[in-house]
Structures are given as structure tokens and as C-alpha cells.
Amino acid sequence: MAEIPKTYEPTAIEEKWYAQWLADGEFTAHPNSQKPAYSIVIPPPNVTGVLTLGHVLNNTIQDILARRARMLGKEVLWLPGTDHAGIATQTVVERTLKKSGAIRHRDDLGRDAFLEKVWEWKEKHGGIIIQQLKKLGCSCDWSRERFTMDAAYSACVSRVFVDLYKKGLIYRGKRMVNWCPASLTALSDEEVIMKPQNGTMYHFKIAVAEEPLTFLTVATTRPETIPGDTAIAVNPSDPRYARFIGKHAIRPLPLHLFGEQKLIPIIGDTAVDFEFGTGVLKVTPAHDKADFEIGQRHRLPVIDVMNSNGTMNAHAGESLAGLDRFEARKVAVEHLRELGFLVKEEPYQNNVGYSERADVPVEPRLSEQWFLKYPSVKQARAVVADGTMKFHPERWAKVYDHWLGGIQDWCISRQLWWGHRIPVWYRREKLDAAIEASVADEMLETALDAGEADLAIPRQELSVKIHGPVVPLGVQDAGGESVAQTSTADIHVGVEPPEDVENWTQDPDVLDTWFSSWLWPFATMGWPEKTQTLARFYPTTDLVTGPDIIFFWVARMIMAGFEWTGEPPFKNVYFTGIIRDKQGRKMSKSLGNSPDPLDLIAGFGADALRFGVMRSAPLGVDILFDEKNVELGRNFCTKLWNATRFRQMHGGETEAEIDPALLTSDDRWILLRLDGAIREVTLALEEYRFSDAANALYRFFWGEFCDWYLEAAKAALGNLGSKEDASESAVELPKIHVLNPASANTLAVIDFTLAHTLRLMHPFMPFITEELWHALGFHDDMPADQGGRTIMFAHWPAPFDDDFKIHYGLTPEADAAALAKHDTVTLGRGLRRDSGIAANKRVRFVLKPAAELPAHDAAVLKILLHAETLDLDPNYLPPRATPVALAPLGELFLPLEGLIDVEAERERIGKEIAKVEQELTKVRAKLGSETFVSGAPAKVVEEHRKREIDWQERLSQLQRISADL
RNA sequence: GCGCGGUUAGCUCAGUGGUAGAGCAUUGCCUUCACACGGCAGGGGUCGCAGGUUCGAAACCUGCACCGCGCACCA
């Protein structure tokens, strides 16, 4: 075995081992193996994405779960892949093409040519994040990598669409949808985020046609939509306004020459809140969901005054047409002001829906879209509610349940090109007729607005003309509720195109990206074929994802799982926190507060990044990312590295048998603590408490093994010789040192501890543990598939059983003995400090032992106290004012020949006495309370009495020492 | 408006009924033969506020304040 370099250099080691693991096929899942299955599907990152800290958190957790499952003897499938991410990818590619000057708009290329470009882009950049996940150490089964637009996967998407259509759950209808004027597509409700806005509430007067000089005042935040108003509504039980119902108002906009303004009806509707605003509502059915519903109830015309990109159209009037909606607002206000109708403007804060992707306000818009009535909602709700599927942390179950309880139909069509095209074809001639009808609609609306049609036309008739379906496919009942598809003659819905495809036109829209993602757990495993992979690894065991996509993805996957496989797709869902910066802000490119994980890996190592992130990510809490955490991870790696070097310098046989007869108190103690660490880490991982597991490893390895055990072991291992000697001898390594049995036994304990610790650490820090596993030769005697080839398959350490503990004398007493020694050392070091002794100065200590002290313990004390000598003298008579500590192992003196400072010692002891008296007062106050003594459990009272005695004894000793001064 | 979290050391967070903790930061000493990406020893907290339950509350209950998030929203 070659000497381990002084500093851990991660890069080369990471590359070496990852390549080795891949070459040996360690990550590949074998459906035929006899082992129990463990599986997890990756939340597919966007195909054009790059690794973020969020991915690091998410995928490190998955890797920990996967690697530990392998060590537990499971057959593990961690299935990776990427998502085509419709809007995001199309936007990125289109923007890039525009920037390069290749096109001004995607229409310049046309659908097919544009899609070709997107595929080119995908081939070129699509692999980046996959390569980055490999750098992180992810043990995914890359042979099973999937993409949501793979041919087989796409076939699944079409298949479920057709299936849902046949079940009557998918329908097409003209409805109010969330329209993104930037992306030019409809969005689902989940893609809209409400943001508070500092806007203005405008109050304007509107004349009542039948009563000269009578005005109503309307409050609105959107005066630019006045041209789209088709009614004024008041609450029928509002005494102020009820009498106006049935009359008409004179709509002020669009402006007309000679004041030929349109009359719109004043209607009564209970939806109007007379507490709010003025109690008079302008009704704009085309641009507000609530208004649309009022419009439906009253059969009001719908006048869309905007173009799809958010600019005003001709219906808005000449002065507004062509303006952006926000520009138009200002102009509309000016018009009202000039007309003398503007009553007041006041600052107003309201919530406005924004497009999540494009970050612009969405426009409620009436349009023809495909909708889905969610399937298997009942089962999806029940499986979480009854605890069959577990959420970690649990509180997300409530959020999930609440959402499913109020679930609305899902708008699944998107006016994009990049995605799964809707598998629906229309007969050409029917479509042409429909387009004519649509044009007729437009003409009617225009006619209405131009005053050529009369609003006195019976409303029902008008409504039929205006609301007649553009394409007669889906139907809705009067309440807007969907009902099953009734007519199938003119449309073809199928996985395959119709045979006479030349007579048909495919629906131009694509499906929402999540309409493919929700099939991920089984579509990636070959569904609907009954593949071995599916049979063996579905349902999956764990899902790890962020709570921000609980509705987008998790809930929908659960429904899809039930609908097409009859089973929930996973057993546990772990929700990570959200990574934020030090100030608690979300990571974003525009803020520039998002460090590149690849830089962090290059600077600190993948293991350091993984450990640092895991250590600071408690269950269910957002993570404030600080590079300091990664530094801590790097430092921990270095510590591990150097502790291993220390072991290696001593040579000797690797992993020799431990002889119970030769065990020291320190050996027993560290074995006990190792057992504790095994239990703690195991339990924490079972409960998905990753940061607790990482902390337990850190505390055990650094705070117990390195700080105490290895330091104490130096006593047992004897003189090493000088540093120079050590490095010289290193040149001749490997060399077998001649070791006495005590030293050999110590090395055996170190090896035992390291071998277990490396395995506990491996899921967190795969690279360094693999390197050291081999460097120390722990793989030598192992079966190839149980740690011989790689630590990946070494068995996860089991807590020690009683036989083991008895055999090695691992008793509570052994633990207490070591702790007594540690406390004694700490007190002795305190004496050094208080006496102003430099840390590097060797001094003489004298211990008046409370009990017989084994030679080994005396030797350890001497080393840990950095003492020149440690005299054990039961009858020691210290010179006056010799600093002394009352330690568990006895009175520890620090004789300061010729340097005695009575005052300093008096002060030191005085402080100590004050402290003890304080504690004594506290405990006596409790014991003096009758209610405590009679009310508290006997055990607690007893414990307090003992505490009182201890403190009292200590106080007496201190007082004696003080008197002797 | 409803719901869910949170409020403990300068910072980030553990701690769920019995002697207030960790990491980072900070102070002092030390380049001692694994490690200065280190060692040793310190300093630092009326546990958001007010009530209540209890022998005993950072922890349990109630109310309030503030911070964050989600859902729903009235123009």
C-alpha cells in the first residue's frame, strides 16, 4: 500500500472511481437477482438545464438512499432521465435563435424546421446536466436513462390521452383560461402565481340612459377593459341601486364621435359585494373569470378587446388599439378624465396572477382548450390520508389533501410546438366550416361594437350566435360543467393517425409538460409492456422532490399511478427544503446569488459539497446556503484523510483480530461510541433525518475518535520517533513494523473503527471512502461483491449485539471510566491555561489518585496533559498555593516551582467556589420546596439529592484548599 | 380571509417536561512527530411577548406580536 499524500486531492480520485464504478457496471439494476428490490426514479431535470444547488440537495439525498440500500443488500434501481420542459426549452431555443439573428420569430422557420432546431439544441446541450450529476457521484443506472420525448415515452403519453378521452374525462371547451401574453399559450392554474401589486383603484361615473343626469360610480383597477364591458351589475338587495336594475348605462369607451356610446344593461347579481368599492361592478366577461360567470348567468355578450400578445385590438376603439394593455390603461384613464367621468384615483394593493415562466401578468381569456377531469382522485387522496403512502415531513399531507379537495379541471393544451402533440385529428372540410363560423363570430362582435347590431335583440338569441362553439367537439352543460364527448364523427382521437390522414388535420396544440411527467414512474420502466423492470421495481420505494411541485407533479403522479397501474407509484415521499442564499432569498440567476455547484466541486470536492449540504439540511426546513458549509465538508474530508494517514504510518497487519484481554479503557470506550454512532446514523437515515445522520458522523469521528481516541492511542503506540524519521521511513513503505501486542491490538481497534466508519460515511461521501477503503486494504479479505471490489456493496454496519459487548467488556462502567479520564484531562488543561503555561511547554503534574490507576491510563493522562512527567502520589503534600483541580480521578496538581502566585490561585479558587455555590443554591432551592419533594417522582428527587451531595462535597474541598492558601 | 411553518448564543440551527447545546464567527495560547482545511482552553443566551397547566416549562395549552410559505380572493 502506497503512502497516502498529506492533503486530500479530490479531483483525480473522483474521476478514477466514477470511471471504475461505471466500467464495472456497479449501478446497473438486475431484475433477475434474488435480492429484495429498492427503487427510486429521479425527478427529471429540464433537458436543457444545468446543475443547481437544488439538484445537489435533491440528488445527494437520492444517492444516499440508493447507496445505503445497496449496502443493506437490496437490488437497487435509481432510474435517471430528463424532461423536455415545453415552455422553458422552446423559449430558450427561440431566444437563442433570435439573438443569433437567424430568425425574428419562430414563424419564420415554421413548425417542422423550428422543431428540428430544438432537437439539435437538445442533442447538443441535453447531456450537460447528466454529466454534472455524474460529477456529483450519483449512482444512477445510466443504462436506463429516459427522456420524456423518447418514442416509447411519447407513445405512452398519447395512449393515456386516448384512454382518458374514451373514459370521457378529456373534453374540449371554450372557457376562461389563464393566458400568457408573453409565451402565447394557455396555462394551468398551477402555473399562475399571485403577486401583490401596488396599483390604483379608479372611480368613474357612468350615466344611466333612462334617467338624465343620473350617474352610478364604478370602481375598477382595469379601466382599459371598459370597451369590453357588456353590463353594469349591482346587488339586487342593495337599496341604493336595486331600482336601476333593468335600465341601461351609457358605456363611455370606446370613444365615439358625436357621443354615440353604447348602452349596456344594468343587471342584478348576488355576486356583487355591496361593501366593496362603490357596490357597482362593471362586467367584462372576456377578461375576468368572475365577470365571465356573471355573463353566463345573464347571457351577456362577450367582447374580447385584446390580442393574444396583450395589446388592445380594434374592439377597444381607435385610440387604444395596438397599445399594450398597461399603456392602454393610462390612455383610458385620460379619456375618462377628459370626459369628466373620472371621480377619483386612489392607491390600491391587489393580487395579480403572473405567469410562472414568463413572469408577466396573465390575462384571463376565453379560449378553446382541452381540459381533463382528474382521474383516480379518490384513491390518490385516500392513500395519503390513511398513511399507506407516507410524506416526510408529514405536514405536506395536509397541503396535498387540501388541494385534492378543491381540485379544478386541468387545462392540458398548450399553444406551443415543443412537446407531445395532441393525438387528435379533424376532418378538413369540417374544420374549414368551423373557421368560417369563427369569422362570423368576430364579425358579429365587431358589428355589435360598431352599433350595427342592436342590443335590443333578445339576449338568448344573441348569446347563441356569439357563443356557438367554434369547433363542435366537446360540450359543456349550462353551468360550465363538462360532460362527456358526444360526437365522434368528425374527429379522430388515437395513438395512430387516421388511415386517410390526407383528409385530416392534426390539432396544432401540444400537451402540458406535466401531462407527460405524471407518467414518469412507470412510463420509464416500459409500461404498458409488462417488462421485468416494471414487475420488479414498480411501485418505487422513495420519491425525493421539492414541495414546490407537490401539485404539479407528485399529486398527479399518484393519480396516474392508480389510474394505469392500479397502485400508488411510491411508498414514501421525501420533501426537501428549498435552497436559499445567506439572506434567505431564493436562488436566482438575476440576483447572481446562485453558486455553480461545479465550481464548488472543483474547489472543495464532490464529497465536501455533498456532506456540507447534507449537514445543513434538516428535515423540512429551507436551507440557507453558505459556502462555509462546503468548507466544513472539505475540512471533514481532510480530517478523515489524515486520521487514515496516521493509521497507515504505523504499518502492521490490517484488521488484525482484537484480543479482548488487551483492551484498554479507551478501546472499550471508542467501541461503545462506535456502536452508538451506528445506531444513531442508522436510525436517522431510516427516518430520513439526513442532517442528523451527517452530524452524528461528524461528532463521532472528529469529536470522539480523533480528538480523544487517536490522541490516547498515541500512548499505546509508543514513541513514533521524530517527524523526519517518519517521513524517511515512509520512503521504504510498505514495511511491517515490529509491534508489541498492545500496539497491535490498538491498531486492530483503529482498523475496526475505521472500517465501520468508512461504511457509515460512504453514502454521504462515496469517493473518499472508496479511496481509503482500498488504501487501507480493507477490501483485501472481502468477497468481491461484499466490499472486495468496492465499498459500495460492503455491508451496512449493524449495532453490536449483547454477546459482542460481553465478549469485549463494553459496559457502562467502561464508558464512565473513559469519561472520568477525559474530564480529568480537561481540568488539567484548564490548570495549565489559568497558570499561564504556554501550550507547547511540557510541565510536571501530580495526581493524588482517588482510586488505583492502571498504568495505561496514567500514560494516556500524561500524553493528553502534554506533561513532562505525571507523578502518582497518594500522599502528596503540595507546596502552599499549588494550583489544583478536583478531578474525577483524584486531585490533580500543577506544581509551579518558584512561580507560585498566591493571589492568582486565591482568585481562581474563589471563582470556582462561587460557581459551585450557585449550583448548590439552585439545587437546594428545589429540594427545600415541599411541593417539589412531595410532587416530583422519587427518581428525580433522588437525583437532585445526589447532585446536592456532589456539589457540597466539592465545595468543602474547595473551601479547604482556599483555607490552606 | 383560511391553513401551515418559524421566533433558542453575533449568524445558521438542534433540543418536546427535570443541571441550556452544535457548527460557523469571536478571544487567548500553540506550527507538539496524522491534520493550521489543525490542536487546546475560553467568552457569549432573562429560549419573541403575556397568561395558563404542572412540584417543575425553551418544551404542553390559550392569546398576541413579528417573519416566511401555501391556498382562496372583491371589481
pLDDT along chain A (965 residues), means of 10: 70 96 96 95 92 91 96 97 90 85 80 91 88 96 96 96 93 87 90 87 91 91 92 92 91 80 90 87 91 88 88 88 91 92 88 88 89 93 92 90 89 92 86 60 47 34 30 35 46 90 89 96 95 95 93 95 96 90 74 84 94 84 85 94 92 83 92 94 92 93 94 78 38 48 88 96 97 92 89 96 94 89 92 86 91 90 91 88 87 80 80 84 85 87 88 87 81
Residue type, A57: L
Q: What is the pLDDT of residue A525?
A: 96
Whole-number pLDDT of residue A489:
62
The CA-based angle A205-A211-A214, given to 5 degrees, is: 30
Check whether residue A823 has its CB closer than 7 Å to nucleic acid strand B: no
- Which helix (H) or strand (E) element contains residue A773? helix A766-775
A590 touches strand B (CB under 7 A): no
Q: At how many degrees (to 10) do helices A396-405 and A377-385 cross? A: 160
> A962 and A938 in contact (C-beta within 8 Å)?
no
- What whole-number distance in Å separates Cα of residue A201 and Cα of residue A218? 10
Side-chain-side CA neighbours of A440 within 13 Å: the count stands at: 14
Q: Tell me which residues from 131 to 150 on chain A have a beta carbon below 7 angstroms from nucleic acid strand B.
A: none
Question: What cell was used for A724?
Answer: 523526519
What pTM, to 2 d.p., does this model score?
0.89
Cα separation, A574 vs A579, whole angstroms: 15
A257 CB contact with strand B at below 7 Å: no
Measured distance CA(A201)–CA(A277) in Å, rounded:
9
If 0-12 CB within 10 Å is exposed, 13-18 middle and 19+ buried, where does residue A65 land?
buried
Give the Cα separation of A430 and A792 in Å (integer). Answer: 63
Q: Is the CB of A721 under 7 A from strand B?
A: yes
Q: Is the CB of A645 under 7 A from strand B?
A: yes
- SS3 (DSSP) at A57: helix
The DSSP secondary-structure symbol of A309 reads T
How many angstroms separate the CA atoms of A875 and A117, rounded?
92
Strand B bases contacted by the protein (CB, 7 Å): 3-5, 11-14, 18-19, 22-25, 28-35, 37-42, 54-56, 68, 70-75
Which residues of A in 801-820 have their CB below 7 Å from strand B's atoms?
Answer: none
Distances (CA, A) of A442 to A225, A509, A593: 18, 22, 49
Nucleotide nearest to A9 (CA to C1'): B37
Kindly determine whether the C-beta of residue A277 is less than 7 Å away from any atom of nucleic acid strand B.
Answer: yes
Nearest nt to the A832 alpha carbon by C1': B41
What residues pair up with A175 in beta bridges, in sequence order? A367
All residues at 6 or more sequence positions from A599 whose CB lies less than 8 Å from its CB, including other chains:
none
d(CA A233, CA A279): 9
Q: Is the CB of A632 under 7 A from strand B?
A: yes
CA A649 to chain CA mean position, Å:
43
Closest CA to A422 of A456, A377, A372, A476: A372
E strand residue ranges, A449-503: 475-476, 482-483, 491-493
A641 closest CA partner among A766, A746, A751, A769? A769
How many of the other CB atoms lie within 10 Å of CB of A676?
16
Cα(A826)–Cα(A850) distance, rounded to whole angstroms?
17
d(CA A745, CA A658): 6
User: How far is it, in rounded angstroms, from Cα A493 to Cα A542?
Assistant: 35
Q: Reduced to 3 states, what is the DSSP secondary structure of residue A238?
A: coil
Q: Decide if A871 contacts A847 (C-beta within 8 A).
A: yes
3-state DSSP assignment of residue A95: helix
d(C-alpha A569, C-alpha A140), whole Å: 19
CB-based burial, A249-282: b 16+ in 10 Å, e otherwise: bebbbbbbeeeebbbbbbbbbeebebeebbbbbb
Count of alpha carbons within 13 angstroms of residue A82, beta-carbon side: 22
Q: Is the dihedral of CA A934, A937, A938, A940 positive or negative?
A: negative
Question: Is ipTM over 0.90?
Answer: yes
User: Straight-line distance from CA A577 to C1' B64, in Å?
Assistant: 29
pLDDT at residue A651, as a whole number: 81
Closest-lying nucleotide for A940 based on CA to C1':
B18
Packed helices A690-698 and A665-686: angle between N→C axes, nearest 10 degrees: 170
The reply to whether the CB atom of residue A838 sits less than 7 A from any atom in nucleic acid chain B is: yes
Is there a contact between A149 and A85 (Cβ–Cβ < 8 Å)? no
Beta strands in A255-319 (DSSP E): 262-268, 280-283
Q: Directed axis angle between helix A665-686 and helix A741-761, to 10°?
A: 10
Nearest residue to A717 (alpha-carbon basis) of A734, A702, A732, A739: A739
Nucleotide nearest to A866 (CA to C1'): B32
* pLDDT confidence of residue A436: 60
CA atoms of A660 and A630, how far apart (whole Å): 40
Q: Which three cell numbers stand for residue A884?
A: 489544583
Contacts of A149 (CB under 8 A, 6+ apart): A84, A419, A420, A516
Distances (CA, A) of A689 to A64, A441, A629, A822: 12, 61, 18, 30
- The CA–C1' separation of A739 and B58, in angstroms, is 53
Cα–Cα dist A750/A656, whole Å = 10
Q: How would you classify the pairing of strands A482-483 and A579-580?
A: unpaired
Q: How far is the CA of A723 from the C1' of B33 (A)?
A: 4
Closest CA to the C1' of B14: that residue is: A692
C-alpha distances in Å from residue A832, one per residue of A750, A754, A839, A842, A912: 30, 33, 8, 10, 15
Asked whether residue A935's C-beta has any atom of DNA/RNA strand B within 7 A, the reply is yes
Q: Is the C-beta atom of A932 closer than 7 angstroms to strand B? A: yes
Q: Closest residue by Cα to the C1' atom of nucleotide B2?
A: A402
pLDDT the model gives residue A874: 92
Give the CA-to-C1' distance from A574 to B5 in angstroms. Answer: 17
Which one, of A570, A731, A749, A722, lies nearest residue A655 by Cα? A749
A945 CB neighbours strand B below 7 A? no
Nearest residue to A743 (alpha-carbon basis) of A723, A722, A719: A719
